[in-house]
Structure formats: structure tokens, C-alpha cells
Amino acid sequence: MPLRHATLRQFKVFETLSQHESVVRTAEALHLTPPAVSIQVRQLADAVGHPLVEQIGKQLYLTAHGRLVALACRDIFDRLESLDQELAGLQGLERGTLSVAIITTASYFLPRLLGDFCGEHPDIAVALHVGNRETILGRMERNEDDLYILGQPPDDARISAAPFAPNLLYAVATPEHPLAGQTGVTPDRLAREPFLARERGSGTRLAAEDYFARLGLKPRIRMELGSNEAIKQSIAGHLGYSILSESAVGGELDRGELVRLDVVGLPLVRQWYAAHPRTKVLSPATRAFLRFLGEGAEASSA
Ligand code: PGA
């Protein structure tokens, strides 16, 4: 059976299976029986001419052909969603969904921006996914969302990224820290203090490591923690200093619970970016949100 005989239904079932990686969960999500899911997937595999999944032990994996078909499924349903929104737009209606994946550190300000956006566009339903840099890049690779917010776009010509707000990373500590209140602290001196690092896969961690590596230094990592919140608690517990985005520590700095250390070469001046695969068909809701972010950027630089 040639591929053009495959049905939209089969693509929908396979797209859902590629997300859940389980026949039972796919059946639940689509209100089908597991055998019905298996039949649809088998028929699509016949049309493709290759198996799309393989079962190893209890776990289901997509084959190389399956991964390609899953990406194409997302393009197809993105395009249909976009068409739906454009048709509604012709009638003067604004509706649709907007799925945004944001890096953990952006969760301190982006939900508020999304709230303002939803206030202006009440019929657009928004889904928000939060993860560290590695997680967000994985979602982008699999084309799971409309837009990705991160602190440093990947070095990849296939990705389009627009900066929309400044992102400054400071060395922060308690006011009792030995380096607090000193001016012009050298990076070498800073590197000798106990450092609280974010987990591997975090963009904040990458930026801090990069800062020290460029100077031929290595921070004295005392502890590795999986979130900005855990790091802030550990700084408060006098376990060390960290290098964090101002977005994550604004409240603590304002209240004087944490202070910025005055270190040569800091803050690291970065930007927040809105990114998506260059070839992605952007839905009207996505374009509206990008315009909204761009207007905010213009307002703050004016
Ligand atoms: P993170 O990324 O939340 O994964 O640390 C932040 C950033 O890239 O600036």
C-alpha cells in the first residue's frame, strides 16, 4: 500500500503514540482500544514499507523510519492547526492553541508575560512546558511546541532565534559572604570560594562554566543542585555563592537577602531568546505572541 493511501487518522494515532511511547496510554488518550491503536500503526507501517516501532522488553521505541514519520506527523498537524486559526481569522475570530516551552530560569517572568498576552487574546489557549536547557532543546528537536524560550540559542543554522529581553548573570551570595562588599574581586579569587552549581544540562551552569573556562579557571564546586530555588536556599544556608540570572534572584536582591558580588567580567550579559525551527510554519497565535514579545523589547529599550 503506497504512502498516499495512509489516512489522517493513522497519522494522528501514530503522532500520539510517538508522544506516549505506549499503546495503552495512546489508546486511553484517543478513547480507542489498544488493538485498534496497533492496527492503525501497522497499516501506517505497511504504507511506509518499514516497521515504525520496535518493542524491547516492555518498552516501545520508534525506529529510524518511525522518528521521521513522527516529525512529519507534527508538521501535518501544525499546518492544520495553523489553517484552522487562519480560517477563523478570516471571520474576524481569534482562536487556537499556543504551546510554549520555557527554560526553568525563564519561569520567573515568562508566565506573567503569557498572562498579559492571554488578557489581550482571551480565546487563545496556552500550554506551558518548563524544563532545563537540555530538555527544551530535546523538545525543539522533536518539534513538540510552537515556541521555545531560552537563554542561549543552539549554534545551529536551522534554528531561528530573536532576542526580546536582557538576561544578566551575577555572582550572588549572602551579605555575610567574605567577598560581599569588596570591589573589583578577581575571577581567580572568586574561583577559590565554594561554588553552588546548577545540574548538568542547565544553561546557567553552561554559562558559568564557560566564564571560568575562558579565563583558564575552574570553580570549586561544593554542591550540584537541580534548581535555582535549591541553590538560593543553599546560599542562604551559607554553603557558598553561585552565578545566577538576575531574573531568578530579583526578589532576594531587592529584599537584601542576597547581594551581587562585584567581580571583574561579571555580570555576564546575555539575552532571552524566542526560538523555533526555521522551517516551522508559525500559526497566527505564535506570530501574535512573537509580536507581543517584540513590542515589550522595543518598549524596554525606548
Ligand atoms: P537553565 O537555563 O534554566 O537551564 O539554567 C537558563 C539559561 O540558559 O540562561
pLDDT tens for the chain, residues 1 to 302:
678 889 999 999 999 999 999 999 999 999 999 999 999 999 999 999 999 999 888 889 999 999 999 999 999 998 998 888 888 877 766 778 899 999 999 999 999 999 999 999 998 999 999 999 999 999 999 889 999 999 999 999 999 999 999 999 999 999 999 999 999 999 999 999 999 999 998 999 999 999 999 999 999 999 999 999 999 999 999 999 999 999 999 999 999 999 999 999 999 999 999 999 998 888 889 999 999 998 866 655 54
Atom of ligand 1 nearest to the CA of 136: 4
Q: How far apart are CA 104 and CA 101, in angstroms?
A: 10
Residue whose CA is closest, atom 2 of ligand 1? 203
Q: How far apart are CA 150 and CA 131, in angstroms?
A: 10
Residues in the chain: 302
- The pLDDT assigned to 5 comes to 85
- Give yes or no for residue 104 CB within 6 A of ligand 1: yes
Using CA atoms, how far residue 100 sits from 22, 130, 153, 154, 223, in Å, is: 24, 9, 15, 17, 31
Vertex 216, ends 214 and 221: CA angle to 5°? 95
The DSSP output letter for 185 is B
- The pLDDT assigned to 300 comes to 56
- Give yes or no for residue 152 CB within 6 A of ligand 1: yes
Bridge partner residues of 55 (DSSP): 60
Using CA atoms, how far residue 237 sits from 230, 232, 241, 257, in Å, is: 11, 9, 10, 11
For residue 270, give every residue at least 6 positions away whose Cβ sits within 8 Å of its Cβ, in sequence order, or none: 151, 152, 166, 167, 168, 169, 207
Bridge partner residues of 279 (DSSP): none
- The pLDDT assigned to 30 comes to 94
Q: How far apart are CA 167 and CA 163, in angstroms?
A: 10
Q: 170 alpha carbon to ligand 1 midpoint, in Å?
A: 13
Atom of ligand 1 nearest to the CA of 202: 4
Give the count of alpha carbons within 13 A of 185, CB side only: 22
